[in-house]
Amino acid sequence: MNEQHIFLVGPMGAGKSTIGRHLAAFLNRPFFDIDNEIEARTGADIQWIFDMEGEEGFRVREAKALLELIQNDTSSVIATGGGIVLREDNREALRENGQVIYLSATKEQLYDRTRKDKSRPLLQVDNRREVIDQLVEKRDPLYRGIADLVFPSGSVPPGKLVKSLAQALTEL
Binding footprint of ligand S3P on the chain (CB under 6 A): 12, 16, 35, 46, 81-83, 120-122
To ligand S3P, the closest distance from the beta carbon of 75 in angstroms equals 21
The SS3 assignment for 52 reads helix
Exposure string of 126-149, with b = 16+ CB inside 10 Å and e = fewer, is eebeebbeebbeebbebbeebbbe
To ligand S3P, the closest distance from the beta carbon of 78 in angstroms equals 12
Rank residues 56 and 73 by Cβ distance to ligand S3P and give the closer one: 56
Rank residues 16 and 91 by Cβ distance to ligand S3P and give the closer one: 16
Rank residues 142 and 162 by Cβ distance to ligand S3P and give the closer one: 142
Residues 3, 65: Cα–Cα separation, whole Å: 17
C-alpha distances (whole Å) from 96 to each of 68, 70, 99, 117, 164 are 14, 10, 8, 33, 24
Rank residues 3 and 89 by Cβ distance to ligand S3P and give the closer one: 89
To ligand S3P, the closest distance from the beta carbon of 123 in angstroms equals 8
- CA nearest 61: which of 79, 87, 98? 87
To ligand S3P, the closest distance from the beta carbon of 138 in angstroms equals 10
